[in-house]
Amino acid sequence: MIRVIIERELKAECLEDYFALILKAKRDAGHKQGFLGGELYQDINEPNRLTIIASWQDIDSWRKWTDSEERVSLLESMKPLLSRDERVSVLESKAF
């Protein structure tokens, strides 16, 4: 299993539009093989900073989602709402 951390910073007036888009994204991803779930977090001190933590079965499942028409279209719709490009980190658990 992998975790994907997506950090986004939004323009102040765009939160409601973003929330509508991100709900659609979660529904779309939910139908993709390998998607295990996701959570959205909002920074308490900076409400325009949002972080998604998603769980995927493996890196191949995540890559299929990132290349899908649904996600590409979603990101295009989202770009006008962002104050900077999103930052994505893909994490894999390692035993220690």
Residue 10's identity, in one-letter code, is L
Q: Is 65 inside any structural domain?
A: no
Contacts of 82 (CB under 8 A, 6+ apart): 8, 9, 10, 11
pLDDT at 96: 78
What CATH number should be reported for the domain holding residue 74? 3.30.70.100
Q: Is 34 inside any structural domain?
A: yes
Measured CA to CA, the distance from residue 25 to residue 45 in angstroms comes to 25
pLDDT at 37: 93
Structural domain count of the chain: 1
Q: Is 80 exposed, middle or buried (0-12, 13-18, 19+ CB in 10 A)?
A: exposed
Q: Is 64 inside any structural domain?
A: no
Q: What is the pLDDT along the chain (96 residues), one digit of tens a residue?
A: 999 999 999 998 999 999 999 888 888 888 889 999 999 999 999 999 999 999 999 999 999 999 999 889 999 999 999 999 999 999 998 887
Residue 87, domain extent = 2-55+70-92
pLDDT at 60: 96
Q: What are phi and psi of 76, to 5 degrees?
A: -65, -40
Q: Is 25 inside any structural domain?
A: yes
Sign (positive or negative) of CA dihedral 60, 22, 94, 57: negative
Q: Is 62 inside any structural domain?
A: no
